[in-house]
Structure 1
Amino acid sequence: MSHGDPASFSGPLPIVPPVDGGSIWSARYAGTTIGAVSLIFLAALQSLAVTTVMPSVADDLDGHALYAVAFSGTFATSVIGMVAAGAWADRRGPAAPIWIAVLAFISGLVIASLAPTMGLLLAGRLVMGLGSGGLVVSLYVIVARVYPANLHGRVMAVFSAAWVVPSLVGPAGAGAVAEFLHWRWVFGGVALFAVAAFALLAVQLRKLDLATEEPSSDPVARRLLLAVVVAAGALALGLSGEGGPLAGDSLLRGAAIAVVAFAVVLVAMRPLLPAGAFRAGRGLPSVILMRGLIAGACFGAEIYVPYLLQDHYGFSPTWAGIGLTVGALTWAGAAEITGRWGDRIGNRRIAGTGAGLLAAATAGLAVSSVVDPPAAVPIVLWGVASGGIGLLYPRLTVLSLAYSTRQNQGFNSSALQISDAVGTSSTMAIMGFAFVAVPVAFSFPVVFGIAVLIALAALAPGMRLGHAAELRG
C-alpha cells in the first residue's frame, strides 16, 4: 500500500534509523519551540478568556440573540481551516499555510476588538475560527518536519502544558481586563501578543526546509467542499440542542434537526478521514477514531462539572472553576509522563489506562451527583478523569504523526482535528438533549453516564493503535 495515499494508509510505521534529537530546548530547536508553544498558549488563552467576557460583550452590543453562534460559529469555520491548511501543507509545505492561518487568527481578533455591533463581532469570530483551525494543523506538520520522531512526544507534552496557565489565570485575568479596562482589550491584547509570538517563529521557519519533495496530488476542491458541509452540519447540530435557535421551544423538532445534521456530518466527513476510521481499522484509523471518542467523553462531561458544583454544592461560578483547574494540572502532569516515557509504557497500556481512568472517574461523578458526597470528591474525580485524558490526548497526536509521511502529514493532522471537533460537538449536543429531556433528578447521572459509555467504547480502537516499538524504529 502506498504511503502517499492518505485516504487509505493504515499499514505499519516505516522503520527508520534512530535519531539523536537532543532536546526541544537545544539551540537547534529552541526558537521554533518557543514560537510554536507561544501560539498554542495564546490560542488557549483566547478560547478560555472569551467565555468569561462574552456576557459583557452581548450586553454591550445588544447581541444576546447571537450569543451561542459566537461560539459554535468559530468551531464550524475551524473545520474549513483545518482541511485547507492540511491540503496546502501536503502540496507546498506548512510555511505558507501557517502564515495565512496566523494572519486570519490575528485579523479575526482585531475585527472583534473593534466591532461596533454583535454582527461584526460574529464576523470576527468566524475569521478567527478559520485561522485557529489552520494554525493547529500547520503547527502539527511543522513539528513532524522539524523535530525527529523521538522528540514528538516531548513537544506534544509541552503543547498540553501550554493550556495549563491559561486554565489557571485566563478566566480571572479576562474578567479583570474587562472590569478595569474594557472587554475589547481581551481580543486586542491577544492579537498583539500573537504578532510577537509569530515573529519569533517566522524567523526560525525561514531557516528550515519545510518543502514537500513529492507533493500530494489529491483533489483539494472536493475536500474543501466536504469541509464546508461538515462545518454547516456541525453548526446546525450545535444550534439544535438545549432550546437553541433551530429548535426553539420544541425538543422534538430540535432532536429531528440534530439527527439529520449528525447524519450529514458523518457522511461528509468520511472522505476527510483515513479509510477504515469508522470501523476501527488497525493503526492510523483507530488513532483518529479514538481521538474523537475520548474528546467527546471528556469535553462533553467537562461542561457539567462546574454546573454540578454550583447546583449541588452552592459554589459561585468562580469557585466552581476550581474543579477545572485541578483537571488542567493533572492533564499536564499525565501528558508529561507519556511525553517522556510513552514508548516504554506502550500504546495499548496507555490507551487502556487513559480510557479506563476517564470511564471510572465519570462513573464516580454520576454516583456523586446522586449521593452528594463532600465537594472535594467530584473535584478529585475530575482530576482523575483529566489525568486519563492527559495520558491519551498528546500520545494520539504523536501516533498520527508517526503514521504519516511528508505527503500526508497535513491530511492526517486535519483528520485528527476534525475527529476531535466533531466528536466533541456531537457529544455535547447529545448530552444537552438528555439533560433537558429526563427528570431533573436524573439529569447529571445521565450526562455523566453517557460519558462513561463513550469512554468505554474508545477502548475498542484503543487496542488497535499499534505498538511503541514501531515509533522508536
Structure 2
Amino acid sequence: MKKTASKAARAMSPELRPLIIGILAIITCAAFEAMAVVTAMPSVARELSGESSYGLAFSMYLTASLLGTVVAGSWCDRKGPRPALAVGLSLMILGLLAAGAAPDFWLVTVGRAVSGLGGGFMIVAVYVVIGRSFPQRVQPVVFGWLAAAWVVPGLIGPVIAGFVTEQFGWRWVFLGVSPIVLAAVVIVWPKTRGLGPIDSPEAGSAAARVVRGFALAGGVFAAQWAVVRLADAESPSAAAVSALVLLAVAGIVVVLIVLPALLPKGTLVLARGLPSIIATRGIVNVAFFGVEAFIPLMLVSSRGIDPGTAGLTLSAAALGWSAGSFVQARVTFGRQWLLVAGSSVLSLSLGGFVLATAVEAPLWVLVATWGISGSAMGMALSSASVLVLKLSAESEQGRNSAALQISDQLGGVVGTAGAGALFALLHDPSNPGHVPTFVAIWLALWVFTAAGIVSGLRGARFPDAGPGLTPSKSMEGTVPA
C-alpha cells in the first residue's frame, strides 16, 4: 500500500500535477460524450426513423477513429502531440455540432464520423503525453486514474442525457457537450508545450502509413455499409445482392492487405508478447462494445424504460471499469496475467448477461452483471496500455499507441457493425423490442470473449524487459515466440 501511495504521490508531484489534471479533464469529457450519446441514440433513431441503421452511428465513429489514429501515430512521433491534439479537438466539436443539427439520421452518422476522426487524433496524443511525461513506474497509477475519470460521467452522464433528451430534445445532448470538450483541452494545452518531436522518421514511411490509414478506413466503411444494407434490404434483386456482397468482400480484402503493416508483426496470428497484447484489446472490444451499444435500445424498446434509467447499465459498467483499473494499478505479480483474468471474467459475465436478458431478469440484475463486465475491461485494457508503453522505445510510442488504438477501434467497429447487421437482419419493425433478437446478438458476441482468453494467454508470454533491450523493433514483433 505504501508503495502504491508513493507512486501516486510522484504522479501528482507539483511539476506533473497540472498535466495530469488536464489529461483527466479530457478523458472525463470524452467519457461524458460517450455516455450521453449512447443514452440519447434510441430517441435519435426513433425520431429520425433510423432504427435499421442504428449500429452505423456507433461503428462509423470508430471507423473514422481508425483513420485519425493512424495519421496521429506518425504525426506525434514527428511533431509531438500538440498538433494532433488541436486538430482532434476541432474535428470532435465540428462533428458534435453537425450531429446536433442533423435533419436526417444519415447526417447524424456523418457527424459521428467526424467526431470519431477527432477522437482518434486526441487519444493517441494523450497516450504519447503520458508515455513522454510520466515515469514508467507510475504509469499504471495514471491509467488507473484515467479509468476513474469515467466514474462521474458514468454516474451522471446517462441521467443528465436522459433528462435533457426528455425535456429539451436529443439535439441538445450533442450541442451541449461541445463547450465542455473545448474547456478540457484548453486546460492541458499549455502543459504540452515542451513535448516536441523525438525523432524524424522518413517522410515516405509516414506518408505510406497515411495512405494505409485511408485504405483501412475505406475498406472498413465499405464492408460494414454493404453488410448493413444487405441485411436491411427488403426483397433485394439478385444484382443488388451481388453488388453488395462484392463490395463487402472487397472491403474485407483491403483491410486484410493493409492492416498487418499498421500493427506489430504477428498480431493477426497472435504471436507471443506485444502482438497478442494488442490483439487482446481488439478482441475483447468486439464483445463488450458490440453489446453495450444495443443495451439502451433493448431496454427502451422491450421494457419501455426511459432513456435515463436505461443508462444505469452504462453507469454500472463505468464504475466497474474504474474498479478494475484500480485493481490493476496495485498488482505486485506479472501484470500480463491480468489480460487473461480480465478476458475470463468478461466471458463469464457476458454469459450471465445473455441468460439474464433471455429470462427477462429484473433491471438490477442486468445492471450488476454489466458492471462486472466493465470491471473485467478496466482490468485488462489498462494493463495492456501499460504493457505496450513498457515494450516501446520512446521514439516509437506514438506508432505503438496508434497500433493499440487501431486494435481497440477495429474491435469496436466489428462489434457494433456486426451487432447492427444482425439487428437489421433479425428485428421485426412491428415488434422492435423482440427479446430473442437481442439474445442472439449477445450470444454471437460472446464467442469473442473465448478468443480473448486465448489471445491473453499468448500475450502473457514475454520477457520482463522494457524497450531498452529491443528499442528498434517494437513494431516488428520482437518478443520471442
TM range, smaller chain: 0.7 to 0.9
Q: Which moved more, 1:250-259 or 1:81-90?
A: 250-259
- Looking at structure 2, the residues matched to 456 and 166 of structure 1 have their Cα atoms a distance apart, in angstroms, of 30
What whole-Å deviation, never above 9, does each CA across 1:267-319 have from its counterpart, x for those lacking one? 22221111110111122211111111011111122234445556776644443
Contact 2:347 2:449 in 1 (8 A): yes
Tell me the residue number matched to 2:381.
393
Q: Give how far 1:25 is off.
A: 2.2
Tell me the residue number matched to 2:455.
461
Q: Which moved more, 1:94-103 or 1:123-132?
A: 123-132
Q: Give how far 1:205 is off.
A: 1.4
Assess, with a 3 A threshold, how the Cα gap between structure 1 residues 316 and 431 changes in structure 2: closer, same or farther. same
Tell me the residue number matched to 2:368.
380
| Residue of structure 1 aligned with 2:443, choices 437, 441, 449 | 449
Written as runs of structure 1 = structure 2, the 5 A alignment for 1:73-88 is 73-88=60-75
Which SS does the other structure have where 1:263 is aligned? helix
- Looking at structure 2, the residues matched to 157 and 381 of structure 1 have their Cα atoms a distance apart, in angstroms, of 22
- Looking at structure 2, the residues matched to 96 and 436 of structure 1 have their Cα atoms a distance apart, in angstroms, of 39
Assess, with a 3 A threshold, how the Cα gap between structure 1 residues 54 and 309 changes in structure 2: closer, same or farther. closer
Written as runs of structure 1 = structure 2, the 5 A alignment for 1:175-190 is 175-178=162-165, 180=167, 185-190=172-177
- Looking at structure 1, the residues matched to 52 and 295 of structure 2 have their Cα atoms a distance apart, in angstroms, of 26
Q: Does the alignment pair 1:100 with 2:90? A: no
Tell me the residue number matched to 2:234.
249
Assess, with a 3 A threshold, how the Cα gap between structure 1 residues 292 and 307 changes in structure 2: closer, same or farther. same
Tell me the residue number matched to 2:159.
172
Which SS does the other structure have where 2:288 is aligned? helix
Q: Which moved more, 1:84-93 or 1:161-170?
A: 161-170
Q: Which moved more, 1:463-472 or 1:43-52?
A: 463-472
Which SS does the other structure have where 2:65 is aligned? helix
Contact 1:237 1:429 in 2 (8 A): no
| Residue of structure 1 aligned with 2:258, choices 268, 272, 290 | 268
| Residue of structure 1 aligned with 2:10, choices 16, 20, 23 | 23
Tell me the residue number matched to 1:470.
465
What whole-Å deviation, never above 9, does each CA across 1:197-239 have from its counterpart, x for those lacking one? 2222111112x34430454666122221221122122223333
What whole-Å deviation, never above 9, does each CA across 1:322-341 have from its counterpart, x for those lacking one? 23322221111111110232
Structure 2: tracts of 5 or more residues without a match:
1-5, 428-433, 469-481
Q: Which moved more, 1:273-282 or 1:449-458?
A: 449-458
Assess, with a 3 A threshold, how the Cα gap between structure 1 residues 239 and 355 changes in structure 2: closer, same or farther. same
Tell me the residue number matched to 2:281.
291
- Letter of the aligned partner of 1:99 in structure 2? A
- Letter of the aligned partner of 2:131 in structure 1? A
Written as runs of structure 1 = structure 2, the 5 A alignment for 1:68-217 is 70-112=57-99, 124-178=111-165, 180=167, 185-206=172-193, 208-213=194-199, 215=201
Which SS does the other structure have where 1:359 is aligned? helix
| Residue of structure 2 aligned with 1:37, choices 14, 24, 37 | 24
Tell me the residue number matched to 1:221.
207
Contact 2:59 2:412 in 1 (8 A): no
Task: Give the fraction of aligned pairs with identical amino acids, expressed as a percent.
Answer: 32
Q: Give how far 1:104 is off.
A: 2.5
Which SS does the other structure have where 1:345 is aligned? coil
TM-score with structure 2 length normalisation? 0.81
Assess, with a 3 A threshold, how the Cα gap between structure 1 residues 458 and 126 changes in structure 2: closer, same or farther. closer
Contact 2:58 2:293 in 1 (8 A): no
Contact 1:359 1:451 in 2 (8 A): no
- Looking at structure 2, the residues matched to 269 and 141 of structure 1 have their Cα atoms a distance apart, in angstroms, of 22
| Residue of structure 2 aligned with 1:230, choices 216, 219, 229 | 216
- Letter of the aligned partner of 2:350 in structure 1? T
- Letter of the aligned partner of 1:458 in structure 2? G
Q: Does the alignment pair 1:405 with 2:388? A: no
- Looking at structure 1, the residues matched to 285 and 137 of structure 2 have their Cα atoms a distance apart, in angstroms, of 25
TM-score with structure 1 length normalisation? 0.82
Written as runs of structure 1 = structure 2, the 5 A alignment for 1:329-344 is 329-341=319-331, 344=332
- Letter of the aligned partner of 2:342 in structure 1? G
Which SS does the other structure have where 1:28 is aligned? coil
Q: Give how far 1:132 is off.
A: 1.1
Contact 1:49 1:170 in 2 (8 A): yes
Assess, with a 3 A threshold, how the Cα gap between structure 1 residues 86 and 441 changes in structure 2: closer, same or farther. closer
What whole-Å deviation, never above 9, does each CA across 1:164-221 have from its counterpart, x for those lacking one? 3222222331343455556554344333223322222111112x34430454666122
Written as runs of structure 1 = structure 2, the 5 A alignment for 1:408-423 is 408-423=396-411
Q: Which moved more, 1:360-369 or 1:154-163?
A: 360-369
Q: Give how far 1:462 is off.
A: 1.0
What whole-Å deviation, never above 9, does each CA across 1:414-459 have from its counterpart, x for those lacking one? 1111111111221333344455667978544443333332111112
Q: Give how far 1:140 is off.
A: 0.4
- Looking at structure 2, the residues matched to 438 and 120 of structure 1 have their Cα atoms a distance apart, in angstroms, of 25
Contact 1:113 1:184 in 2 (8 A): yes
Q: Does the alignment pair 1:425 with 2:413? A: yes
Q: Which moved more, 1:21-30 or 1:332-341?
A: 21-30
- Letter of the aligned partner of 1:93 in structure 2? G
Q: CA-atom RMSD, angstroms?
A: 3.5
Assess, with a 3 A threshold, how the Cα gap between structure 1 residues 33 and 430 changes in structure 2: closer, same or farther. same
- Letter of the aligned partner of 1:322 in structure 2? L
Assess, with a 3 A threshold, how the Cα gap between structure 1 residues 144 and 322 changes in structure 2: closer, same or farther. same
Structure 1: tracts of 5 or more residues without a match:
1-18
Q: Which moved more, 1:263-272 or 1:425-434?
A: 425-434
Assess, with a 3 A threshold, how the Cα gap between structure 1 residues 246 and 140 changes in structure 2: closer, same or farther. same
Which SS does the other structure have where 1:234 is aligned? helix
Assess, with a 3 A threshold, how the Cα gap between structure 1 residues 394 and 250 changes in structure 2: closer, same or farther. farther
Assess, with a 3 A threshold, how the Cα gap between structure 1 residues 29 and 100 changes in structure 2: closer, same or farther. same
Which SS does the other structure have where 1:303 is aligned? helix
Contact 2:40 2:307 in 1 (8 A): no
- Letter of the aligned partner of 2:86 in structure 1? W
